[in-house]
Amino acid sequence: MSDRVTVTRFHPYHGENILLTHDNTVAYRKKSFANALTFSEKPLLPGEIFVIEIEQIESGWSGHLRIGLTQLDPDTVFTDKVEPRFALPDLSSRGTTWIYGISKAWNHFFTYDPGFKLSPHDNRIRTSRGTVPLSLLKPSKQILPTDIYSRIGVMYIPTSDSLANMHYIINGEDQGACVTKIPYREAPLYVVVDVYGATKKVRIIQLYGVRSLQSACREAILLRITQKDVPNLPLPNVLKEYLLEDL
């Protein structure tokens, strides 16, 4: 299986204030608080989870990350005369888009249908693309959904041959169905990520396929940072001192 198949990336078309790095897996808003729309490179499959981690925040702005699904084609969104500055209301007003802003509080108030929720078994979650370790969906300690290291996921789960419900997975916890009766067979569903307000930089968490050595090392370092165990990392002292200064 090729790298292009296994790695989840952002779409090359994005808002003018977005800078994509690390092979289009990191989205950084260069300035302002707007014009920071990004999309998944490929449509999301039924039962597939798309997860991002907040890597940087910027004080002084109101509002936070906005994420959801759209049937609008990213190839055409930015060809219109007026670029959508925001996911809400600019993009959503064009129709077939389902998106919310993530708040500091746990977002259970989104839930329309508390019936089906993902539940881990042996610390793993079963999805349509394979089994995912629960550790990849959550930080190592409890934090607010808008904090650095918070992990926000979105997925849709078919409820019939033609309809599906959208779920948020926030720091490893399924929030329930926040949107119901999405006509998922009418057009491909792309993930929309608006790097809005206080959210400055996000990274896609690779859930499927073989993770790179860089990704595995990063996960190990972040775990030690959150556990305040940096001195025991097998790294040169100069790097450990750098990490400790950044805490």
- Residue 119: pLDDT over 90: no
Global pTM value:
0.82
24 φψ region: left (φ > 0), alpha (ψ -120 to 50), beta (else) = left
Domain 3-211 maps to which CATH number in 3.30.1220.10, 3.30.110.60, 2.60.120.920, 1.10.510.10?
2.60.120.920
pLDDT higher at 210 or 121: 121
Check if the beta carbon of residue 118 is closer than 8 Å to that of residue 167.
yes
Q: Say what the pLDDT of residue 219 is.
A: 59
190-194 and 124-127: which strand pairing? unpaired
Task: Report pLDDT digits (tens) over 156-178.
Answer: 999 999 999 999 999 999 988 88
Rounded to an integer, the average pLDDT of 9-31 is 95
Task: Report pLDDT digits (tens) over 131-162.
Answer: 899 989 999 888 999 999 999 999 999 999 99
- Residue 57: pLDDT over 80: yes
The structure tokens listed for 193 are 């990520």
Place of tokens 């994420």: 67
Q: Where are the domains of the chain?
A: 3-211, 212-247
**Rg, C-alpha atoms of the chain:** 18
Task: Report pLDDT digits (tens) over 177-198.
Answer: 889 999 999 999 999 999 999 9
The structure tokens listed for 174 are 């399924």
- Give the confidence band of 1 by pLDDT, cuts at 50, 70, 90: very low
- Residue 120: pLDDT over 60: yes
Task: Report pLDDT digits (tens) over 22-33.
Answer: 999 999 999 998
Check if the beta carbon of residue 155 is closer than 8 Å to that of residue 4.
no
- Residue 200: pLDDT over 90: yes
